Amino acid sequence: MRFGILLALLIFAAFPQVILGLETFVARDFGFFAYPLAHFQRDCFWRGELPFWNPYNQCGVPFLAQWNTMPLYPPSLIYLTLPLPWSLNFFCLLHLWFAGLGMFFLARRWTGNNFAAAFAGVSFAFNGFTLNLLMWPSHMATFSWMPWVVLAAEFAWREGGRKIFLAAMDGALQMLAGGPEIIFLTWLIVAALWLQSFVKKDFSRATMLWRFPIVIALVIALSAAQLLPFLDLVAHAQRESGFADLRWSMPGRGWANFLVPMAFGTAHTEGIFFQHGQNWTSSYYLGVGTLWLASLALWKIRERRVWLLGGIVFAGVIFALGENTPVLPALRKFIPQLSLITYPIKYIAVVIFAAPLLAAFALANFQKIKRRLLPLGIILLTLIIVIMFWTRLVPLPGDDSQAALSNGVSREIFLLLTGVIFFALAREAKSRLLQFAPLLLVLVAWLDVFTHEPPQNPTAPADIYEPNLARADLEMNPQPELGGSRTMLSPAAANEFVSFATSDPKNNFLAKRAGYCANVNLLDGVPKVDGFFSLTPRESDDVLSLFYRTTNADFPRLEDFMGVSQITAPDEMLKWQARANFLPLVTAGQKPVFYDYVNPLSALTGNDFDGSKIVFLSSPESASVTVSNQTDVKILDSKFGTQTVDIEVEAAEPSLVVVAQTYYHNWRAEIDGQPTPLLRVNVAFQAVQVSKGTHKIHLAYEDRAFQTGATVSIAVWLGCLTGLLRPPRRKNN
């Protein structure tokens, strides 16, 4: 309880304006990805809908199946039921606290030392990497579960019984939080720990052989409602083996940032510091105290968990270096699935997990390592000085050498201050004053990280997220609406927004909101052509790539078909201009042209393409299509919901009805209440064939993978809860 209160106070001291609701996180993906998605999910929640489909981005894209949208993660109820944006900020900071608490319990279990555990808990919650994760609620939640899953899994194979159900539920909650890479790394650590215990014969190998696989099977079953839709989307999405490159690896000089966090980089977007060539995390600085202690543990302590943690640290750094060593590129050739993990810097997560535990082992064995304190402290001090001269004498283009110098000096001060506290801890006879040295060490470690670079999570007034703020200011005419028309960020503007940045977080966000950058259109309920999501149906990605993989792509006929009524004005990324020839999102009567006779992507971009007169179909669709020419059809009515479309048509003869919405196999079609095939047309869009007469067409999103997974998950959750709550059996005398 004392540690929980201390950690809560440190979090409050770091973010008082956020916890009090005076300001909100805004930087980078928090403002342009996480918050808009939470807003959309909240709207669906209060309409009584599960958010299976997002019709506002990318002409429609699966939402629940994305996984990192957290639609099935129970703590999401915090921001679904409490007022935004405060509740989403609180959600992130609550998981920051939960992360530190989990590391406290794990370190205490492994070291048996409360002080060591407290230091590890603060170190895990407050380091550059974990603080960077605050901009991704999903990653923050997933990472916070890492120590809990490791702790619970170890209990499960050691003790069995209820601990198996507890470990399974912990693992499932991490799964539902939705950070695939961190989940993968967590279970690699668990597997390594299990293997070490198995080899050392800590427990009955027979029980270990069945308990651990049962935990994994239960985790999968408990999270099947989320995993099955995700795996289904992956099978139909643009990401395949080889999709991810090695961008944003840890730079070759990146080791220096463990000691001087502002070396070899600069502060740019919203004043946040980044290394050159690495823009995924703004920092992975552990603090000089944690680095000092972790290094001492590796140097002096002969304990097999320390060796395992040392191996994890070594592997994490090598893999994080990515393209800067031959290891990861070579391994990806043997295991192509590793290329699904974007940005090698993410492997640094295991270093951030292992280092606080190593520091805890050092503090728990302080009398063993205290003679090595001074030599290692001198080495660290020398390295900081060397890095300071290095940044001064051999700077990289764009380096802020003066900032690096000041940063190095301040780290030296913290190193010396930490050394003084270590000296106090090493004294055999302690005065009453020195009894406060452990608390002082924790506070200094926190302050070291809190001040190690400019704020990683700048804030702004909460009213920047006010719904319909940009809609009211822009006063578009015609106004794009769901089912009516769409906006389109031009390729040139999309590229400009990548590099566009102002130093003020508020102005930076408001400017990009006016340009409907990324997913901020969700705050205004304005549909648009592009978006910012990890997974997109493969064919949809092919079509959008026609625009967004070049800077000056202009295909007006395709834009007409997609219902683009507003597009970024030329050379003015914050202004919009109306388009006059856009088509309604529901059209009918087109002549079918089959792919056997034409390259569909090339045809869609041609000047002779007219989406009101012709439609391209793949050869497999030909068997169910009897229409051969352009026909006479009237669209009597059309209505779009979040995951439904209702259309009424009057056809003089058999005809095609085309919907300019992304085709995905989970959509189902009915005509007058009877199922009918849903056709994929124009590469990535939808159509149905109707017979002569007046008909009512109903399209609905039906995720059968979710239905199957939910049935399994509910049954297994009930079973696990029953097993967990069942009274233990009494032993006979």
Residue 532 lies in a domain: yes
Is the Cβ–Cβ distance between 444 and 122 less than 8 Å?
Answer: no
| pLDDT for 733 | 46
Beta strands in 499-551 (DSSP E): none
699 & 602 share domain: yes
pTM: 0.94
3-state helix, strand, coil in the chain (%, to 5): 55, 15, 30
544 & 619 share domain: no
595 & 673 share domain: yes
Burial of 730 (0-12, 13-18, 19+ CB in 10 A): exposed
565 & 601 share domain: no
Alpha-carbon separation of residue 147 from 100, 125, 437 (angstroms): 9, 11, 26
Comparing CA positions, the residue from 306, 442, 298, 441 lying closest to residue 369 is 298
590 & 509 share domain: no
Residue 369 lies in a domain: no
- Which structural domain range is residue 689 located in? 586-705
602 phi, psi to nearest 5 deg: -65, -40
Burial of 336 (0-12, 13-18, 19+ CB in 10 A): exposed
Tokens representing 113 are 């030392």
> 69-117, pLDDT tens digit by residue?
999 999 999 999 999 999 999 999 999 999 999 999 999 999 999 999 9
Residue 559 lies in a domain: yes
What is the DSSP track for 428-456? SS--TGGGGHHHHHHHHHHHHHHTSSS-S
Given 528, 561, 578, which residue is the final one in a domain? 578
> 399-453, pLDDT tens digit by residue?
888 999 999 999 999 999 999 999 988 876 666 666 788 999 999 999 999 999 9
H helix intervals, 348-490: 348-364, 366-369, 373-393, 401-426, 437-450, 469-474
Q: Provide the CA 358 distance to its chain's centre, in angstroms.
A: 27
Residue 441 lies in a domain: no
Q: Is the alpha carbon torsion for 131, 133, 138, 143 positive or negative?
A: negative
Residue 688: strand pairing partners: 657
Coil, helix or strand for 541?
helix
Which amino acid appears at position 519 of this protein?
A: N
Intra-chain end-to-end CA distance of the chain, in Å: 37
Q: Which residues contact 477 (CB under 8 A, 6 or more apart)?
A: 578
Alpha-carbon separation of residue 476 from 155, 198, 480, 548, 576 (angstroms): 59, 66, 8, 23, 8
Given 561, 578, 595, which residue is the final one in a domain? 578
Residue 483 lies in a domain: yes
Residue 547 lies in a domain: yes
| Number of domains comprising the chain | 2
Residue 644 lies in a domain: yes
Tokens representing 469 are 């703020």
Residue 10 lies in a domain: no
526 & 567 share domain: yes
The bridge status of strand 614-617 relative to strand 591-594 is: parallel
Comparing CA positions, the residue from 76, 119, 117 lying closest to residue 94 is 76
644 & 695 share domain: yes
Is the Cβ–Cβ distance between 681 and 625 less than 8 Å?
Answer: no
Instruction: Give counts: helices (H), strands (E), the chain.
Output: 29, 20
Burial of 595 (0-12, 13-18, 19+ CB in 10 A): middle
597 & 650 share domain: yes
Left if phi > 0, otherwise alpha if psi is -120 to 50, otherwise beta: which for 270? left
491 & 536 share domain: yes
Residues of the chain with pLDDT under 50: 733
Angle formed by the axes of helices 180-200 and 348-364, to 10°? 50
Coil, helix or strand for 214?
helix
CA–CA gap between residue 429 and residue 48 (Å, rounded): 65
571 & 596 share domain: no
Is the Cβ–Cβ distance between 79 and 59 less than 8 Å?
Answer: no
Which amino acid appears at position 488 of this protein?
A: M
What's 642's domain CATH number? 2.60.420
Left if phi > 0, otherwise alpha if psi is -120 to 50, otherwise beta: which for 67? left
CA–CA gap between residue 240 and residue 340 (Å, rounded): 7
| pLDDT for 622 | 72
Tokens representing 285 are 């600085």
590 & 696 share domain: yes
Residue 577: strand pairing partners: 567
Tokens representing 390 are 């290095």
Tokens representing 250 are 């840890």
606 & 570 share domain: no
Given 530, 557, 578, which residue is the final one in a domain? 578
Is the Cβ–Cβ distance between 651 and 690 less than 8 Å?
Answer: yes
